[in-house]
Amino acid sequence: MSDYMRNLPLSWKERRDESDVHSDWRAELAGVLAQAEAITAAAAPASDAAEALAAGLHALGAEAAARRKVPVRLLTRAVLDLLALAREASVDVALAPRTGGAVALYLAAKAPTEIKAVTRGHTLRATDADWEFGTGPVLEAPAVEFIEFLAGRSLTPPRPPAAPEGPAAPPRGR
């Protein structure tokens, strides 16, 4: 098959099981809310900001319960609030690969021009999750760092993968 055929819609791409593809992010949101609840229970909110974030996440849960479907936009708000809450509580958070990938893709599409200038024309790959999207040279970072950058909350951009270490090339002569 020609290389260009792989990039066409409805092309002859490799077949994969896509039975779990859906547009309702309720299960992923429940996982994010459970993590937030665990952080809040383990370390009582130590600041007004943490209390506001916990209350905001609780409100997102109530809003999601009232909806037929939970859109990725709502999941993204919850993930960003979870990451802020974790930062306030000085706790590391690991996102489910599906959650992190969906949020990163949504944020990449909605990113301001300055962020798109960094990511445009690249494949974005999480180093700690099984997701990547885009085309071009690879930029990589842990999923949470990607999300923080794409949301404009971090100035640390993703980087090209480190070159594999091997024997150093001898210097060129004159």
pLDDT in tens, 154-173: 999 999 998 776 555 556 65
pTM, entire model? 0.80
Mean pLDDT of 142-157: 95
Quote the mean pLDDT of the chain.
Answer: 86
The 10s digit of each residue's pLDDT in 93-139 is: 999 999 999 999 999 999 999 999 999 999 999 999 999 999 999 99
pLDDT on residue 2: 53
| pLDDT band at residue 46 under the 50/70/90 scheme | low
Mean pLDDT of 9-37: 78
Strand runs labelled E in 41-109: none
Cα separation, 53 vs 23, in Å, equals 26
Strand runs labelled E in the chain: 123-126, 132-134, 138-141
pLDDT on residue 169: 55
Cα separation, 103 vs 109, in Å, equals 10
